[in-house]
Amino acid sequence: MGSLAAADEPLPPLRYPPARRDGGIVDDYHGVLVPDPYRWMEELESEEVKEFVGAQAGVADAVLATCDHRGRLRGQLTALLDHPRYRAPFKRAGAYFYFHNPGLLPHAALYVQHGLGGEPSVLLDPSELSDDATVSLSMIGVSDDGEHLAYGTSASGSDWVTIRAMRVRDRRRLPDTLSWVKFSRIAWTRDGKGFFYSRFPAPKDDGGAPESGIRTDVNLNHEVYYHFLGTDQSDDVMCWRDPEHPKYIYAPEVTEDGKYVLLSVSESSEPVNKLYYCDLSALSAMKGTHEMLPFVKLVDEFEAFYGVVANDDTHFTILTNKDAPRYKLSRVDVDDPESWTDVLPQDDKAVLESACAVHGDKLLVNYLSDVKYVLQMRSLVTGELLHDIPIDIGSVNGITGRRADSEVFIEFSSFLTPGIVYRCDLSSGTPEMNIYREITVPGFDRTDFEAKQVFYQSKDGTKIPMFVVSRKSIVLDGSHPALLFGYGGFGMSMTPQFSAARVVLMRNLGFVTCIANIRGGGEYGEGWHKAGSLANKQNCFDDFIAAGEFLVSAGYTSPSRLCIEGGSNGGLLVAACINQRPGLFGCALAHVGVMDMLRFHKFTIGRAWTCDFGCSEKEEEFHWLIKYSPLHNVRRPWEKRAAGDHQRLRRQYPPTMLLTADHDDRVVPSHTLKFLATMQHVLCTSVEQSPQTNPIVARIDRKSGHGCGRSTQKIIDEAADRYAFAAKMMGVSWIG
């Protein structure tokens, strides 16, 4: 088939629903008066908010009805996702556990097989936990003897989790039910009698389960409990709490030898933590008492990150960024807490992403070098290099292995590799990497595409890496639509991953797809992260804008065909960039963004983000935030032409779709609703014959959260909607 012309169906007249503006709400920030006319939108359960959301859904539906590629996109996405997908297995007592989706099931199921050659069977299928597939599996823990599974479920994408238990051999569900769990792990003790987990106290106004509606109150007073299998939650042993530090978050973990429980203590999303440990022989005496476990505070300052990799009795090997922004491995005898020594010093350039102790005294270490992964086998004792393990350019998404086993599984993918699970046999002298499972996508031919890495200069001259993926041998004449994705926060690295949606965009709509590794991420260690946080946050926006300018100047695309996209902190990124350079972009897709930088810390876990953003309650930090806060910087482009804006789009914002979900209790929906109302008011409804004719719409998903736990169908539907919108707005034709 040849090329099909883009449909000419016009947009409907855009009549944005009126939103009440309350002029009486004005906050005084250190002498600066800041109005907040849509404060009422923070009451998400109010009838007024529900009415506003319903009216906005009508506007979005009317616009989407004109997007003729929507059905074709849904069809192509469904066809490409209809293939078997596997995650790396992990081993417990001779049994292998792994996640697998044979195609279009709402969620991947947990399988178990006895021995590598055993017949696999479904242990737990989350798709059967609810009629509408809105209950998902958010965490699991299998006891060391392989006898029991504890699993956490989440409803409608919420961060709140309910933990239950089952017996593996006969799939018998046990009566254990643990509520008000959040930001937790399941950490079994080696005897299989129970596990540690973390939870918040049940609210005093508890009217039922947390999933009954969205709760936006601040999460305080995290606690660690031990649950004995087969008992009621009310009998759980409280192991640790600290009322003097209500903001602390605790992550318990049991060492592989079963001797110690570790407690990582954090206060924010910053890669720093305190590290406590406790000899587990103390636990048996705790049942029925009200005493907390006698944790020893190995590290009791928020000075660096400490993650235990392995222990040999009292000698702990730890991954840390203490005096090492690109991370290193250190060792300490906890009986002599001053005895720190470096086992594997910081590399000159590469970031030590992870280290996994396997097969006795070996270490599988994973470096990130110029956003490309490097795997090595090293000695756990000395840190010396034993073997390089060759892998293609791509991402190591998981490593599963234990010191008791002679095998390790490595999960790999890239832009053009849907997924490979390698089995690495360590029993011989040289590690043998063999493909254990390879994911193939019918209808996808990787030889039609190419992925490359480019480097471009940001505003201050800093070199920024970016991946560019496209059809092979495209002509750089500026004609191609382009999708530019970014994040730039919390030290998170954006590495090569396979995306069915990206394939459809490239194959059927001719897109060039790009990921900019801007500052604020962890691609080059803590220095790169800090260069895009706090007082340096503007660097993120400058880097992303420079990526767009590079794509235009290099001939990949033009401003009218450049779509930018990001989620969460990346939603903030997109929103800030359309405020600062509206004329550079042809479309904007901002998912679940942090839009109100003056009040984000007042909801759920938002307080943990002040390490990256700052906090408006501090005067200096308020002045950083007010300069770029998306909610507070919507301006009419036609009143002040920004330097460098291009004529065709100079006078208005690009077509914009803001995406959120009614059960997002990470970045609460009021961020998006307030920003949406502000954009519509400033640019459209308050202006007669406004030059802003590009639509500003919101897609508000029902019974969904921040992004985790969505069903396959929800993923397909959302991708079809947002990319059909982008294609329509940028006049992109379908390639049959």
Among all chains, which residue has been given the structure tokens 């998400």? 44
Exactly one of 36, 542, 664, 665 is catalytic; name it: 664
Distance CA 28, CA 724 (A): 43
Distance CA 618, CA 616 (A): 5
Two tokens, residue 359: 């097969």
Distance CA 189, CA 140 (A): 14
Q: How close are the terminal C-alpha atoms of the chain, in Å?
A: 5
User: Is 379 marked active-site?
Assistant: no
Q: Is 675 helix (H, G, I), strand (E, B) or coil?
A: helix
| Phi-psi label, residue 527: left if phi above 0, alpha if psi -120 to 50, beta otherwise | alpha
CA 668 vs CA 163, 456, 603, 696: distances in Å = 24, 35, 7, 20
Determine the distance from the C-alpha atom of residue 312 to the mean position of all C-alpha atoms in its chain, rounded to a whole number: 33
- Please state the φ and ψ torsions of residue 231, each to the nearest 5 degrees: -115, 165
Q: Is 411 helix (H, G, I), strand (E, B) or coil?
A: strand
* Residue 327, beta-bridge partner list: none
Q: Choose among 310, 320, 365: nearest CA to 340.
A: 320
Distance CA 627, CA 521 (A): 21
Helix (H) or strand (E) holding 509: helix 500-509
Distance CA 6, CA 70 (A): 12
The answer to whether residues 604 and 668 touch, using CB atoms and an 8 Å cutoff, is yes
Among all chains, which residue has been given the structure tokens 């950083």? 624
Distance CA 45, CA 473 (A): 52
Exactly one of 154, 568, 704, 711 is catalytic; name it: 568
Secondary structure E strands in 56-172: 85-86, 90-92, 95-101, 109-114, 121-124, 135-142, 148-155, 161-167
CB atoms within 10 A of CB 674: 23
User: Is 46 marked active-site?
Assistant: no
The answer to whether residues 369 and 387 touch, using CB atoms and an 8 Å cutoff, is no
Helix (H) or strand (E) holding 256: none
Q: Choose among 517, 668, 467, 485: nearest CA to 44.
A: 668
- Please state the φ and ψ torsions of residue 310, each to the nearest 5 degrees: -165, 165
CA 707 vs CA 13, 151, 154, 652: distances in Å = 31, 19, 12, 30
Distance CA 631, CA 575 (A): 9
Determine the distance from the C-alpha atom of residue 497 to the mean position of all C-alpha atoms in its chain, rounded to a whole number: 13
- Please state the φ and ψ torsions of residue 377, each to the nearest 5 degrees: -100, 125
CB atoms within 10 A of CB 24: 9
Exactly one of 359, 706, 711, 721 is catalytic; name it: 706
Two tokens, residue 249: 């978050």
> What one-letter code names the amino acid at 467?
F
User: Is 671 marked active-site?
Assistant: no
Distance CA 265, CA 464 (A): 33
CA 506 vs CA 25, 178, 500, 566: distances in Å = 47, 45, 10, 18
Q: What number of helices (H) and strands (E) belong to the chain?
A: 10, 41
Among all chains, which residue has been given the structure tokens 């242990």? 123
The answer to whether residues 99 and 87 touch, using CB atoms and an 8 Å cutoff, is yes
Among all chains, which residue has been given the structure tokens 């350019």? 393
CA 507 vs CA 349, 443, 552: distances in Å = 36, 11, 21
Helix (H) or strand (E) holding 373: strand 372-379
Distance CA 657, CA 680 (A): 12
Active site residues: 568, 664, 706
